[in-house]
Structure 1
Amino acid sequence: MNNFSLYQDELVAGHYHPKVNAYYFKQWQSHQMPFHSHKEVEIMYVIDGKCTVETEDKRISMKKGDFILLDANVPHRLTVEKGNPCRMLNIEFSFVQKEGRFPAFKELVAENESLTQLLALSYSYIVLKDPNEIYHTLKNLVLEMDKKGSENEMMVQILLAQLLIQIARMVVEENEKDCEFNQVNIYVKKAIEFLHQNYDCDIQIKDVGFAVNLHPGYLHRIFKNQMDCTIMEYLTSHRMEKAKMLLADTDIPIIDISHYVGINSRQYFSLLFKKYTNKTPLEFRKLALKNIVKYSS
């Protein structure tokens, strides 16, 4: 097979096994490779230190526990800065016709949903943080390859399958997190839009939850995680900014300002405003007028 890409259709149509063509431990003191590519798939794992891997569209900083899976024929280069050594474990693998009884790659894919999803994504490269399982599998794989014998060949196939399934699971989990994060962003954005449009009304958390179609407790939690403040804290801040604008730019009586920003109690509004600006509404308006007169002069 001339093309060794992880995502080629032939792998899930024919009977192939992954096969490691090269592997090495390397301590880089200072190094910059030219851009190059391999006909094999490559995994570069940072055991210690830090380095930079560049592709044609991205510069990726990597440190201890990070690894990158590069598909075949993806141009890249490694850079290790002087004074910041980097110790790495790299393997390069391709695919060969199946031999022996171990399941073919297409059979592994058929039985594993994560592998199926990984192949559908067709990423040219994947960068991940090891949860302390990838290095263990990589090291065991290299140790088995240093031995000879039919039993070792079987262990190599088992470890390669384990490695690919582990990576596939990690990719799927990261994608799910990204999807969840994007969905959370949508809900928080809708909540903020609702607050901006209705700040002059009497609002409770349940009203915001109903507006964005989420349980109020869950919305409260994701809003606080995303915005580093609660919904009501955000609403109060927005109301105080609107009050400052009304005090500085309009002639609306101070006793009516509270109703314009959705706070029914004038006394409570004054307390909130003083807490937020360190000035009473009257003091704030006087200062704003002085600044206007000074600017006009």
Structure 2
Amino acid sequence: MPETSSGSLFQVGMTDGRLQPDFHAYYYKQWTAYRMDYHCHNSTEIMYLMTGSCIVDVKTEEGAGKRFALKKGELILLDANVPHRLIVEEGAVCRMLNVEFAFVPTNAECNSATGIGVLAREEPALADLLRSPFASLVLPDPEEVLHTLKSLVLELDQKGGQGIMVRLLFAELLLRLARLRREQLDSSRQHVHHYIRKAMEYLHQNYDRSIRVEEIAAAVNLHPGYLHRLFKRHTGRTLTDYLNGLRIDKAKMLLSGSAVPIADIADYVGIGSRQYFHLLFRKYGGCTPTEYRERAERDSRKKNEVRSI
């Protein structure tokens, strides 16, 4: 696929901030017993299978063909100018969400935190995706991409291709696709990554109450001992250490950004003993909660004085 194609995901301008998305089509469609002719277009296409099953045939540059059998919750990403066709077998029904987009030169206003080049410099998975051309890519989705696609299509329906929200949602879409691809490539660690991520999510959503390792393990469907070893091996920290660090980070946020009394903050972050809270805060924060709040208040006053000059 030529890098000069305005529709391709793999162009030189993608990583240097010179391009932004231009949406050609976005729609929901239910297919029943359908056979499409081979076709191609100068745009990148995402075909997301919401229900049912289907087949997508893809022709490579060498003229060979690849057949992908898609099922609910899977998507195929097709680069520009790649011949492909959709087949829905007799008696089968599937419903898809399709989004097609190319790229046009950006303007100075769009070359910001939502710019593809900026994101690629911050996110190695995205940089790797943009540097690794492919004709087609099939990815399983834990509904993260679907949620983003739905939000993007709704925003496009309401605002067209313009606006900060469209750029933000497209940026999120690229990041989620890149991370899914990274997980797929690293198949030997895919399940490990899933369990670690789920355990971290559970901790971030439940740090405000008493948590036992057995609860975390049950939430991710692993034996407590195995989860403990897995988490330590792949993060370098125990579950307890990670949770304590998280709780102190939340306490710091409340100390510097809210008026919650120091005596109550331990309860806000799930630490039942105020004495133990002070011990943990000194261990992870390097000072007492009172000293941290006083320092934060001084810093805030200095910033306000600078602004008023």
TM-score for the superposition, normalised by structure 1: 0.57
1:49-80 Cα deviation digits (max 9, x unpaired): 11000012211001110100001111110001
Unaligned runs of 5+ in 1: 182-217, 219-297
Q: Which of 80, 89, 92 lines up with 1:81 in the alignment?
A: 89
CA contact (8 A) 1:17 1:97 kept: yes
Code of the aligned partner of 2:138 = V
Alpha-carbon distance between aligned partners in 2 of 1:21 and 1:73, rounded to the nearest angstrom: 14
RMSD, aligned CA: 2.4
Q: Secondary structure at the match of 2:30?
A: strand
Q: Secondary structure at the match of 1:46?
A: strand
2:36 corresponding residue in structure 1: 33
1:103-131 Cα deviation digits (max 9, x unpaired): 43222212211111112221211101111
1:90 corresponding residue in structure 2: 98
CA contact (8 A) 1:18 1:105 kept: no
2:53 paired with 1:66: no
CA contact (8 A) 2:17 2:118 kept: no
Matches within 5 A, 1:1-297: 2-13=5-16, 15-56=18-59, 57-99=65-107, 101-102=109-110, 103-148=114-159, 153-177=163-187
Structure of larger gyration radius:
1
**Percent identity (aligned):** 44
Code of the aligned partner of 2:58 = T
Alpha-carbon distance between aligned partners in 1 of 2:34 and 2:24, rounded to the nearest angstrom: 23
Code of the aligned partner of 1:85 = V
Given the superposition, is the C-alpha separation of residues 176 and 33 from structure 1 closer, same or farther in structure 2, using an over 3 Å criterion?
same
Alpha-carbon distance between aligned partners in 2 of 1:101 and 1:76, rounded to the nearest angstrom: 36
Greater Cα shift, 85-94 or 17-26: 17-26
Given the superposition, is the C-alpha separation of residues 156 and 180 from structure 1 closer, same or farther in structure 2, using an over 3 Å criterion?
closer
Alpha-carbon distance between aligned partners in 2 of 1:178 and 1:34, rounded to the nearest angstrom: 38
1:179-232 Cα deviation digits (max 9, x unpaired): 889xxxxxxxxxxxxxxxxxxxxxxxxxxxxxxxxxxxx9xxxxxxxxxxxxxx
Code of the aligned partner of 2:168 = I
Unaligned runs of 5+ in 2: 60-64, 192-229, 231-309
Code of the aligned partner of 1:75 = P
Alpha-carbon distance between aligned partners in 2 of 1:179 and 1:5, rounded to the nearest angstrom: 30
CA contact (8 A) 2:6 2:103 kept: no
CA contact (8 A) 2:9 2:80 kept: yes
Given the superposition, is the C-alpha separation of residues 38 and 179 from structure 1 closer, same or farther in structure 2, using an over 3 Å criterion?
farther
CA contact (8 A) 1:44 1:67 kept: yes
1:270-293 Cα deviation digits (max 9, x unpaired): xxxxxxxxxxxxxxxxxxxxxxxx
Q: Secondary structure at the match of 2:126?
A: helix
CA contact (8 A) 1:28 1:86 kept: yes
Q: Report deviation, 1:98.
A: 1.4
Alpha-carbon distance between aligned partners in 1 of 2:83 and 2:174, rounded to the nearest angstrom: 22
Q: Report deviation, 1:100.
A: 5.8
TM-score for the superposition, normalised by structure 2: 0.55
